[in-house]
Amino acid sequence: MEPVLIAVIAGCEIGFWIVLAAGLAARYPLRLRRTGAALLICVPLVDLVLLAATAIDLRGGATAGTGHGLAAAYLGYSVAFGHSVVRWADERFAHRFAGGPPPRGRPAYGAARTRYEWREFGKAALATAIACGILLAMIVLVDDPARTGALTAWLGRLGVVLAIWAIWPVSHTLWPAKPKERADRAPRE
């Protein structure tokens, strides 16, 4: 069922954006606040669909493969970053359709940028922990090392992703970005 599981992952990603867009469209352009809120509350249900599909596949005797590891990684990152993505989209919809303030961007330099990078790394660490927890739960659920070798390999992959991600906050801590010199200023003589 590996290709089917990968299709379910793709469908869940598409479903996430459709439910999010529908919720925000109901909330702002259509001015249906309760309907919008109900749709936005349904966004995490997409993750439950993927979790159920993965568990059913493994309980049905499937040998874990790339799709199962990818499902765990998707779930971990979706849980850790989902709220941020919803807030990001909400700010843009509120600005565009409801006269809200301009969306906040990430800080460009200084201590604020360093804090931002560490906060994002914290989310990535949480995502990795959730994904690894799901992988370990799947390994225990299957209870057959011959069928879960691919899941064990994903633990290492997720560790590598997190290690690479650490480059950004560490580099911003050691070498914080500074404000750029404005081009319209005349150089001093």
Rounded CA separation 170/124 (Å): 14
131 pLDDT higher than 70 = yes
170 pLDDT higher than 70 = yes
- At 47, the pLDDT band (50, 70, 90 cuts) reads very high
- At 61, the pLDDT band (50, 70, 90 cuts) reads confident
The per-residue pLDDT for 183 is: 56
- At 59, the pLDDT band (50, 70, 90 cuts) reads confident
Least confident window among 28-37, 141-150, 154-163: 141-150
The per-residue pLDDT for 186 is: 54
DSSP secondary structure code for residue 184 in this structure: T
Mean pLDDT score, 147-153? 91
- At 185, the pLDDT band (50, 70, 90 cuts) reads low
Give residues with Cβ within 8 angstroms of 168, minimum separation 6: 117, 120, 121
Rounded CA separation 139/11 (Å): 24
The per-residue pLDDT for 181 is: 74
Task: Supply the pTM of this predicted model.
Answer: 0.86
